[in-house]
Structure 1
């Protein structure tokens, strides 16, 4: 596949409206597609999940700045289409999409496949995480600190929400992500896979420095506002809190980052 030199300049065209509509969850699920914005995220998509890429939309100036991304897309057989800044902006919910977006098929994997990657390491479970930025940041932290997989419950935000995808900055394509399983089933599957299930919650009586993180384990993260429900905590092997000197609490993304860093340190 080569770059289509026909410039897309009509911001009201059917193609533009079709890409823009992928911002809605119902449309993404119906079409089996989602949008990846920005050269860094597109680069990671093509590098780690190139089979999922379908189309690349890029402005002329961005194509000149990021020739390696365009070349990689061409080599992967991805349709590359030149467009104006106005067209690219009309395709997304951000005014400045950095000159490049891709349309891709979902990259999540079945729960069993995600858990098979755990081995002697650790995974992250998102139970009722609703904020796209938080979900994306936790996924990025999981990638940074070496989590084997991220398991996202059916009650959490859709991982293909444009804000989630942007927040991961490409980490979505680096590690197995499973979606759509109810929380009780997720925790049961983790236990069957031999993982110690640890709830991260301010109500925990076990302090993070006292937890044995050298064994395979799953960190269970709760909702931004109310944390983990009592019934979810009851399904976990331990409830762990992070020692805090002065602040009242940590937000979800910060707490997850601290816990995942501790797991990464224990594995060294």
Structure 2
């Protein structure tokens, strides 16, 4: 039983909340039974350490069983230790350390994807996590991060994905023009989500959404710059039927991805 919140082991886990530690070690923090459960199910080879309070293991026997199936020992810890490790204010008694498993841009497009999300300069962790979750739910083949998009292994991003980080490839560090070039070479059309673009409903009526598509999403505050929009085959906007000034980035991305998913599955 780990009891000392200030022990070197506990401090090493807690440091993974910082980007510098994640970059140096190639590891990241998983908090809560849902994230750990999905990691054990879909990427057990990535899970290196697992800590939990006895009470949490009693409450979540599937996590305990998943760890056993993966050959991972559960290290019991006090609530004070779990709190010291966690990034959240009220942790749920389960913490894991996992190895980062990014997918290369080359491998993303070598798999002949039909639907991907490209995130350029997305800075809010909650937005990025929600986009990854929405891409997973819509059946997208990958999410590609370009420019200065927030680290996908940031604790808030990981939590916002609710496990989807382990369900589909996530590629990071690419340069936008190069990524778009690879997408086009793979036979995909490029749609940029842009407030000044054409009405998405018009594109739907033209039957264009069923083709293999890479959606390009930009920064929450500035959107996409002119050069980025120019890389796309077409820029599209979601119509606003009510009085809202605009939609949150993650909400808009979810709608766009689902529009493509519906069209691609219509037949």
Partner of 1:52: 46
Structure 1 residue 42 displacement after superposition = 0.5
Partner of 1:224: 220
Number of aligned positions between the proteins: 261
- Counterpart among 242, 245, 255 of residue 241 in structure 2: 245
Indicate if the aligned counterparts of 2:203 and 2:209 stay in contact, CA closer than 8 A.
Answer: no
- Counterpart among 139, 143, 149 of residue 136 in structure 2: 143
Structure 1 residue 65 displacement after superposition = 1.1
Partner of 1:266: 263
Distance 2:36 2:87 in 1: 17
Q: Which runs of 5+ in 1 are unaligned?
A: 1-6
2:15 equivalent to 1:21: yes
Partner of 1:96: 90
Distance 2:134 2:196 in 1: 23
- Could you give the per-residue CA deviations for residues 165-208 of structure 1, whole angstroms, max 9, x where no partner exists? 00000000001111111111111111111110100111102434
Partner of 1:152: 145
Distance 2:201 2:143 in 1: 20
- Could you give the per-residue CA deviations for residues 206-233 of structure 1, whole angstroms, max 9, x where no partner exists? 4344241111010000000011110000
Indicate if the aligned counterparts of 1:208 and 1:259 stay in contact, CA closer than 8 A.
Answer: no
SS in 2 for 1:151: strand
Indicate if the aligned counterparts of 1:118 and 1:216 stay in contact, CA closer than 8 A.
Answer: no
- Counterpart among 67, 78, 81 of residue 84 in structure 1: 78
SS in 1 for 2:4: coil
Flag the 1:118–1:250 CA change in 2: closer, same or farther, 3 A. farther
Distance 2:164 2:135 in 1: 9
Structure 1 residue 155 displacement after superposition = 1.3
2:130 equivalent to 1:134: no
Superposed CA RMSD in Å reads: 1.1
Partner of 1:164: 157
Partner of 2:253: 256
SS in 2 for 1:204: strand
Q: Which runs of 5+ in 2 are unaligned?
A: none
Partner of 2:180: 187
Indicate if the aligned counterparts of 2:199 and 2:239 stay in contact, CA closer than 8 A.
Answer: no
SS in 2 for 1:203: strand
Distance 1:79 1:224 in 2: 41
Structure 1 residue 80 displacement after superposition = 1.4
SS in 2 for 1:215: coil
TM-score when normalising by structure 1: 0.95
TM-score when normalising by structure 2: 0.95
Indicate if the aligned counterparts of 1:206 and 1:238 stay in contact, CA closer than 8 A.
Answer: no
Distance 1:187 1:65 in 2: 46
